Amino acid sequence: MINLSPREAAKRKQILTAARSLFLTRGYAGTSMDLVTSEAGISKQTLYRYYSTKEALFSDLLCQVIHELTEEKQPSLASMPLPENREQLYETMLMMARVIAVKLSDPLYLSILRIVFAESVRFPELGELLLESFPKSTEVLTDLLKKCRETGLVKLEDGDEEMSMRMFIGPLIGQAFLDGLICGASTPEPMPEKELKRLCRIYVESIT
């Protein structure tokens, strides 16, 4: 939603706050629009004026969570100088790895992932919503690798940038999933700095 008045923005926030509480405690299937109206203390007419379906409500909530966890931390590719050598590329990759590791270990983000994973078989649209709402970290990395390939800094074939990006973030995702989802750590920790540096060193050495 755009161009909301202060009153409308406050009402939308009220709805999303109630929806977040319900989705996190009851899951997607266990949350109904009736429950949201009750939790938010609003009428059905008001709720449906902002969100016509539960899917639309969850989608907006998902986007809000992703925005909260990434926008302030997300480095802008436009603001980063293009690496000119292996050491500069290493420092850039390390900065990006830190951002991704912190985001993936955030308890709120992991809670949202649990909902999506638990309900995606019955509600496959949730997985699609998650992918559509995913932050720009992967796009930033892919674009960076493409530019570095064009300058000759990295040795990748044209079109291999996305696969290379997936190879880089794979260990970060694995760490978060093992500690935060499978093992159920109440306060999962990001990958340690020492391991982040090792990951970036091995990765940069393999592509340059």
Would you say residue 199 lies in a domain? Answer: yes
Tokens representing residue 1 in the block: 């939603």
The beta strand positions in 39-103, using DSSP E, are none
- Residue finishing a domain among 32, 52, 72: 52
DSSP-assigned letter for residue 79: G
Per-residue confidence (pLDDT) for residue 183, from 0 to 100 = 62
Would you say residue 45 lies in a domain? Answer: yes
- Regarding whether 87 and 148 lie in a shared domain, the answer is yes
- CB-neighbour burial class of residue 39 (10 A; exposed 0-12, middle 13-18, buried 19+): middle
15-21 long-range Cβ contacts below 8 angstroms, 24+ apart = 15/40, 15/42, 15/47, 15/50, 15/51, 15/57, 16/57, 16/60, 16/61, 16/64, 19/57, 19/58, 19/61, 20/61, 20/65
Tokens representing residue 116 in the block: 């999506």
CATH assignment at residue 45 = 1.10.10.60
- Regarding whether 174 and 139 lie in a shared domain, the answer is yes
What's the rounded Cα separation, in Å, for the pair 26 and 65?
17
- Give me the count of residues in the chain: 208
- Regarding whether 138 and 110 lie in a shared domain, the answer is yes
Backbone angles phi, psi at 164, to 5 degrees: -65, -40
Would you say residue 33 lies in a domain? Answer: yes
Per-residue confidence (pLDDT) for residue 208, from 0 to 100 = 94
What's the rounded Cα separation, in Å, for the pair 89 and 91?
5
- Regarding whether 141 and 70 lie in a shared domain, the answer is yes
CATH assignment at residue 129 = 1.10.357.10
Into how many domains does the chain fold? 2
- Regarding whether 70 and 41 lie in a shared domain, the answer is no
Per-residue confidence (pLDDT) for residue 115, from 0 to 100 = 80
Would you say residue 157 lies in a domain? Answer: yes
What's the rounded Cα separation, in Å, for the pair 59 and 1?
12
- Regarding whether 117 and 71 lie in a shared domain, the answer is yes
Owner of token pair 């292996």: 86
- Regarding whether 78 and 18 lie in a shared domain, the answer is no
CA 186 centroid distance within chain: 19
CA 32 centroid distance within chain: 25
Owner of token pair 């406050």: 10
- Regarding whether 122 and 180 lie in a shared domain, the answer is yes
199, 93 contact by CB (below 8 A): no
99-133 per-position pLDDT tens digit: 888 877 777 777 877 787 777 777 777 777 666 65
Per-residue confidence (pLDDT) for residue 133, from 0 to 100 = 56
- Regarding whether 180 and 80 lie in a shared domain, the answer is yes
Q: Which residues of the chain have pLDDT under 70?
A: 1-2, 66-67, 69-79, 129-137, 179-188
- Regarding whether 126 and 28 lie in a shared domain, the answer is no
- Regarding whether 123 and 97 lie in a shared domain, the answer is yes
Would you say residue 179 lies in a domain? Answer: yes
- Regarding whether 47 and 93 lie in a shared domain, the answer is no
Domain ranges, residue 34: 6-52
Backbone angles phi, psi at 114, to 5 degrees: -60, -40
DSSP-assigned letter for residue 187: S
Would you say residue 1 lies in a domain? Answer: no
